[in-house]
Structure 1
Amino acid sequence: MVYCEIVIGPPGSGKSTYVQQKALDIKHRSPFLINLDPGNIHTGLYDYNISTTTKEYQIKNQKGPNGSTKDILHDFVMDIEDFYYTHLESNEDYLIFDLPGQVEFFIAGGSLSTLVNFLTKKDINVVIVNLIDLVFFNTALISSYLFTYISIYRMEVPFLCVISKCDKYLDYDMNYSLEDISNLTVLDVLNPEKKFEKIATEFLKDYFVYNFQILNYNDKNSKLILQLNIDKCSGYCFTDEFDTNESYLKDIDSDKLFEPYNK
């Protein structure tokens, strides 16, 4: 059985750092790393890099950076079958896709859905991991929730919402506790003045049923809890292989997840 993470999120959310750290944390699963961000292809991190950079495409086709990224990804998924048989068919391990951060790609484009549908038809267990930088929940709380909701609505595979860079919580002048932000109870204490924000808050309270995971690379507990939830979503933790190869459950303490963030 093949398992797969597709990592998405706005620019600056730490997607490349996440992939790099994940490759180290689960190296015993032999992860295969696929970079589909044409703005960040010249790194030694990935096993596969998308072939065209954003700048090269802009110059050749006289398009802006966002339009170029969208077109490059569209071209990739149109040839996804060739990519699969060349790079993935014999890879029976763990796939991690790193995607670009342009919001319109997830909201208006069809490339991500095409990629997900292809992988699931190949019996690959896909989980989408949506990273959002903690600072956005201080400067654009409602927008961050709305972006995540829209992303979830468009997907038909398991989806995890993750607040990244939580090691910065005590450094920021955060208005709310990390636990309240994570479980969305912060919406109960908001008192927005603008009409749109009022409507958005009520909408989220009525329809957003997902809690956010938290990620702090300095806190092993948060990393293991996130991995457990990913393994639950993919179904891996319910297999005999998991019981044989994984021993991290004994190191998890869910009751202490938010302790490092108490002011």
Structure 2
Amino acid sequence: MTVFGQIVIGPPGSGKTKYCTIMQEALKTLGRTVFVVNLDPANDRLTYDCALNIFDLINIEDVMINCNLGPNGSLVYCVEFLEQNFDWLKENLMKITKKCERPYILFDLPGQVELYTHYNSIKNIMQKLISLDYRLCCVNLIDSYYLSDPSKFISVLLLSLSTMLQIELPHVNIFSKMDLIKQYGKLAFNLDFYTDVLDLNYLVDTLEDDKILAKYKNLNKKICDVVQDFSLLSFLPLNIQKRSSIVKCIQIIDKANGYLYGHLDDQEIMESVGGTIDMEYNDDYTKEDDDDEF
């Protein structure tokens, strides 16, 4: 049986659990049978209806006590333990999906970025799921706060690119917490510059305004050159307060994991729920609005 789903990743504090909660509610509104699977052994505060929890297999506190490891080492140990015990995940996923005609699964993953840039366990687990006919899309959440600082934005660009190359899945990068972006101050450029990852040389030039960052201008320029040479990155802004923004994300993700092509009837439901999606979405993030708001 084909199972569609999302692999929700992102740095700590990027809003992965909140995203899963909102996405679960939105997809249920569209009539989909949605399950959320928590694969973060450090996340014991779940705000969504959890169908399967890694805490039933292992958790970070037990590993820290029994193996005398720190938080980061314990998290790596837990993920590697999950990889070694993939049958546990496979069997439990079969239990929760076997009675559903079209199951859809959200996987809530840990926030430790090394798991996606340096270690292979997450990648191996995903590849095993794909071999079981899981059609997955990796959703990488980046806190929109990083748009307010050029040096931090360059860092998340490199992180996002490294993750895309390592995970090897259809990828949708999302700026989360766009409803809070006004609190972070005025952006150096309009929103399109950041979402489309336009000419980053303009961004590098702004580093001269900071004496400390100016020392590393050449390094940041080389990083930007690498990002632009690959030309893989783009971002989608997500404002959870706007229904049209949520539905737009669902549409993009459906194209990425292939759900769209087998369930075209869902697009009509989305248009009825979200209104005229493209019109609302463009109105939310026009350049004129960016100039006024940011």
Structure 1 stretch displaced more, 143-152 or 55-64? 55-64
Using structure 1 for the length normalisation, give the TM-score: 0.93
**Residues matched between the structures, number:** 262
Deviation at 1:82, TM superposition (A): 2.9
Contact 1:127 1:159 in 2 (8 A): yes
1:50 aligns with 2:54: yes
1:141 aligns with 2:153: yes
- Deviation string 1:192-226 (CA, Å, 9 cap, x unpaired) is 44221111122222223221011001122211111
Contact 1:34 1:49 in 2 (8 A): yes
Quote the residue 1:217 is aligned against: 240
Deviation at 1:116, TM superposition (A): 1.1
Name the structure where helix makes up a greater proportion of residues: 2
Contact 2:144 2:175 in 1 (8 A): yes
Residue number among 63, 76, 86 corresponding to 1:70 in the alignment: 76
Contact 1:35 1:48 in 2 (8 A): yes
Query: 1:244–1:161: structure 2 CA closer, same or farther, 3 Å change rule?
Result: closer
Q: What does 1:104-183 correspond to in 2, within 5 Å? A: 104-139=114-149, 140-173=152-185, 174-183=187-196
Partner amino acid, structure 2, of 1:38: P
- Deviation string 1:2-57 (CA, Å, 9 cap, x unpaired) is 10100000000000000011111011212111111111135363111112332221
Contact 1:176 1:186 in 2 (8 A): no
> 1: distance between equivalents of 2:126 and 2:237?
24
1:256 aligns with 2:283: yes
Q: Which has the larger radius of gyration?
A: 2
Contact 1:29 1:94 in 2 (8 A): yes
> 2: distance between equivalents of 1:90 and 1:16?
20
Contact 1:149 1:208 in 2 (8 A): no
> 2: distance between equivalents of 1:207 and 1:213?
18
Query: 1:195–1:39: structure 2 CA closer, same or farther, 3 Å change rule?
Result: same
Using structure 2 for the length normalisation, give the TM-score: 0.83
Q: What does 1:220-231 correspond to in 2, within 5 Å? A: 220-231=243-254
Partner amino acid, structure 1, of 2:231: F
> 2: distance between equivalents of 1:13 and 1:105?
16
Quote the residue 1:185 is aligned against: 198
Contact 1:41 1:53 in 2 (8 A): no
Partner amino acid, structure 1, of 2:282: D
Query: Which consecutive unaligned segments of at least 5 residues does structure 1 have?
Result: none
SS at match of 1:4: strand
Query: Which consecutive unaligned segments of at least 5 residues does structure 2 have?
Result: 208-213
